[in-house]
Structure 1
Amino acid sequence: MTEVSVVVPYYRDQDGLDRLLAALAAQTMPAERFEVVVADDGSPEPPRIPEGLPFEVQVVRQADRGFRASAARALGVSAAAGRVLAFVDGDMLPEPGYLEAACALPLADPAAVVVGRRRHADPCVVEGGWTPGEELPEGAELAEPVWLIDGYAQTKDLRQADSTSYRFVISAVLTVARQVYEEAGGFDPSFVGYGGEDWELGYRLWRCGARLRHVREAVAWQLGEDFGGREDPVAARRVKNAEAMTLAAKIAAPTGRGRTLGLGAAGTRGVRRVGVRMLFSPGENDAGGVVSRDAPVDEAAVVLGVDAALQTFPAAPVTVDVSGSGAAARGCLEDPRVVAVTSPEDEALVAPALDEAPDWDVLLHEPLRPAEAGARPDPRAAAALLLRLERAGVDTVVLTAGGGADRVREVGRLTGVRGRRAQACGRRARVLTLPVARLGWAPVGPAPDLEGWWGGWA
């Protein structure tokens, strides 16, 4: 039974494919354990497969409708039989131990995602007969991208990955357990043009609870420099900017679209980094604490609190309980980012499906604002705080109106993206209780000066 399917996107590079197939034939993993699927992205002539290879090879083809490597990989997966998918680009040369090193975790763990180590060599080495696994001639190794080296160091080889770590998921050396690949939705075939499809898949893999790892021992060589070193700087920047604009409609992390863009943009999957739920009725919050209320919330306070929330997280959807509000208050809340509900049992207050859930869910049981008169929210500081908490391993934050110290506790069950990731990592979710006074905020209170808030003096 085939355990591993090596999926190779291909376009008009027979020499590169021949070298890659020869490198795969030299793998220490027994050939009967893997197959190779060559996914041709519309080459004028189909690739030729050499005779005598020790593993099975099949070729699948799609029409030439532009650079569609992502669609080619997805097509290759549809024909693959393995429970582990090893994506290797056609211009890569894996060392003999590559597949064993890259596939060990995904074969043992259906949620595992492995990024190998892509190294770079002068293309002239193959003319001298060099093959992967041999020592390179002096001066033939080219520098690895510093941003990747730093990214893997900062994330402890992706063990401490967060919502911005998708940037270190490289499809040239990507191995994924089929189960988590399919759960995340696989490569998006809508990508046309160079780059971005691996980052977008990496982001979805992270959201659905994949266990990411950078395995340094899984080495494959690329002949020539990384993209950034191969192109004219101006031309390369144009390509990267086009990639960034494509990803902005698909990735909700601040490194993907900033902190304000992407409100309902066409092509989004509906995700946003932060969602704010303002629930003012009695009930149990997401961290298991019971909230009680003796009197309805002042409707002006509701309007001010929603305004403060939108100033803090401009791209966030805000769900707000308007059950005690009049027509004037509801008119003020007619904003495309605001969903007004009249009951805590309303469907809009139920945690959404994972592909629609925000990365962070901020639950407020009373309206809040900066405590100092005339002060306004600082969106950059708020986003930076969430990122610090994320990297500290906090899964959710409960804001309290009282004083006291911060408190971290563990809970057995937590809904949404954070709870999913905690469960996938085999641990209890970590909840931070944080007094709003520590952030320079305070409850809005009854009868606020709404005119002064909007005017800037209150």
Structure 2
Amino acid sequence: MTHLRAQLRALAGVPDLRRIVIWIGDDDPPALEADTVLRVPPGPAGLRLAAARNAGAAAAGEARLLIFLDADCVPGPDLVPRYRAAAGRHPEAVLCGPVTYLAEGVSASDPADLVALTSPHPARPMPAGGAERTASADEYSLFWSLSFALTPETWRRTGGFDEAYEGYGGEDTDFAFRLRAREVPLVWTGGAHAYHQYHPTSSPPWQHLDDILRNGALFAGRWGEWPMTGWLTAFEQGGAVTRDADGWRRTPAAADRPVRP
């Protein structure tokens, strides 16, 4: 909740912006300084992240630009204007800005103070400053849903996120592969910085083991390959999963691993 409130404060002074929060918890959302707050309840298999993003896009109505930002991300002071400017040049594209992962103890109370800490994650190519670059076909797998933007027309062309994915993992890579299949350009957008606020994580994410296996199998059935192979390999090294001709599956040794936090 602290992360979300920091994000909303950072966006409070941005002109011509509607702040829409999609609450995906079991409980009702608290009072928030947002223009619209909607609740998407969990499904039988866990949190419905794909459904939440679709609900946010639907709630935006006739907006000129849709900007998606995960609750734990604070926008840099130039994120909104950079996405808006890039959308003017690439209205047919999905735009992805760089993301900096903040260290433990770093306050995000003032986004202007974060500029000096800018250090985009090296896993993705990022143009400097105000430049943009269209992704190559093999870079679509680097799409991250925690910060991206697109016009409503382009959103309709993508078909949105597949709500068959529930729980953790896979829905964003599926979305990216759909972009590639439909020849929707993916554009790396320099200067549209987001800052991911610190929270404890585990690597690999043992609490999401079953989600990753279920969603990974769904993805593989559609695209002919498994996503999240780095984590699956780590699970295998930990004795929790094995791979056979049908893909990855749990082993008896995984029985004592937690399914959810």
Q: Distance in 1 between matches of 2:113 and 2:98?
A: 16
For 2:30, the equivalent position in structure 1 comes to 47
Q: Distance in 1 between matches of 2:222 and 2:95?
A: 22
Higher RCO structure, 1 or 2 (CA under 8 Å, sep 6+): 2
Q: Distance in 2 between matches of 1:62 and 1:221?
A: 25
Gaps of 5+ in 1: 1-12, 51-55, 259-458
**1:207-222 map, 5 Å:** 207-222=181-196
Amino acid at match of 1:40: W
Provide closer, same or farther for how the CA distance between residues 174 and 234 of structure 1 changes in structure 2, counting only shifts above 3 A: closer
**Helix, strand or coil for the counterpart of 1:134?**
helix
Query: Which sits farther off after the overlay, 103-112 or 117-126?
Result: 103-112
RMSD value, Cα: 3.1
Provide closer, same or farther for how the CA distance between residues 60 and 189 of structure 1 changes in structure 2, counting only shifts above 3 A: same
The alpha-carbon deviation at position 209 of structure 1 amounts to: 2.3
Q: Distance in 2 between matches of 1:22 and 1:112?
A: 28
Q: Distance in 2 between matches of 1:18 and 1:124?
A: 17
Of the three residues 179, 197, 201, the one matched with 1:230 is: 201
**Helix, strand or coil for the counterpart of 1:198?**
helix
Of the three residues 86, 93, 107, the one matched with 1:112 is: 93
Q: Distance in 2 between matches of 1:111 and 1:257?
A: 28
Gaps of 5+ in 2: 230-261
Structure holding more strand per residue: 1
Q: Distance in 1 between matches of 2:208 and 2:25?
A: 27
TM-score relative to the length of structure 1: 0.43
**Helix, strand or coil for the counterpart of 2:99?**
strand
Alpha-carbon deviations, 1:204-225, whole Å to 9, x = none?
1222222211112000101227
Amino acid at match of 1:71: A
Alpha-carbon deviations, 1:91-113, whole Å to 9, x = none?
10111111111222224443121
Alpha-carbon deviations, 1:110-167, whole Å to 9, x = none?
31211111101124122xx752121578xxx697544335xx58xx9752421x3222
Q: Distance in 2 between matches of 1:97 and 1:189?
A: 31
Provide closer, same or farther for how the CA distance between residues 234 and 209 of structure 1 changes in structure 2, counting only shifts above 3 A: closer
Q: Distance in 2 between matches of 1:168 and 1:257?
A: 11
In our comparison, the structure showing a higher alpha carbon Rg is 1
Alpha-carbon deviations, 1:362-411, whole Å to 9, x = none?
xxxxxxxxxxxxxxxxxxxxxxxxxxxxxxxxxxxxxxxxxxxxxxxxxx
Alpha-carbon deviations, 1:347-369, whole Å to 9, x = none?
xxxxxxxxxxxxxxxxxxxxxxx
TM-score relative to the length of structure 2: 0.73
**1:3-42 map, 5 Å:** 13=1, 15-27=2-14, 31=15, 33-42=16-25
Q: Distance in 1 between matches of 2:205 and 2:18?
A: 40
Aligned residues: 222
